[in-house]
Chain A
């Protein structure tokens, strides 16, 4: 079943922070985060494999709450290049990754 992402869209000014949430109705084995720019394929950001895991890359980080069956992506001090649609993908067992509907992020100067 498709994970639920929130919010659907967010508008930020450069330097502001944002949080994107991803929740599942099933137990999660892993959570993936991707960013997609218009007309391009998704680009892998990070994967979280264990409950309680937190990962970060520069000013983008994510956490995985296994108990709550959810993950959050944190964007701090946003830059114009952060604009795009963010997808979480979940694995609930097996090979498949199912993607959420996406969160559209607009960063304004």
Chain B
């Protein structure tokens, strides 16, 4: 199956700092990438949808100035959590939809566990 990587897998940071998470599609071109957040024992909550070369579309209640998303190429999207606070601690997962492998299937990255102290 298609491979999506995320980096870093875990990050611990101090409150007030910014953290950048990278999401890469390794063997396919991703026209659309999605960013989810998952709190313990809860579902995946969609934060935003990004299409290559255009601005991300954020879900209601997600602050675009706090969660900066850049989809610079067909294989890379980044999520930057700016001025992180403890309540931002969560499991962040990206997924990518392939242009070539069937437009509906989403492939998930392994996730990034963020802990803000």
List residues of A whose CB falls within 8 A of some B CB: 2, 30, 32, 34, 40-44, 47, 49, 87, 89, 91, 95-102
Contact = CB atoms under 8 A, between A and B. Distances in A.
Given A41-B111, A95-B32, A96-B49, A32 B44 contact: no
A23 to B, nearest CB: 15
Interface in B39-73: 42-46, 49, 51
6 contacts: A34-B108, A41-B93, A44-B105, A95-B49, A100-B43, A102-B43
A41 B110 contact: yes
Sorting the interface of chain B by its residue count into under 10, 10 to 19, 20 to 34 or 35 or more gives 20 to 34
A2 B43 contact: yes
Contacts of A47: 102, 104-105
Nearest to B102: A47
Interface of B: 1, 32, 34, 36, 42-46, 49, 51, 93, 97, 102, 104-111
Given A95-B97, A97-B34, A41 B108 contact: yes
Contact of B108 (A30, A42, A49, A96): A42
Contacts of B109: 41
Given A40-B110, A44-B108, 20 more contacts: A2-B43, A30-B104, A32-B104, A40-B111, A41-B93, A41-B109, A41-B111, A42-B93, A44-B105, A44-B106, A87-B44, A89-B106, A95-B32, A95-B49, A95-B51, A98-B46, A99-B43, A99-B44, A101-B43, A102-B43
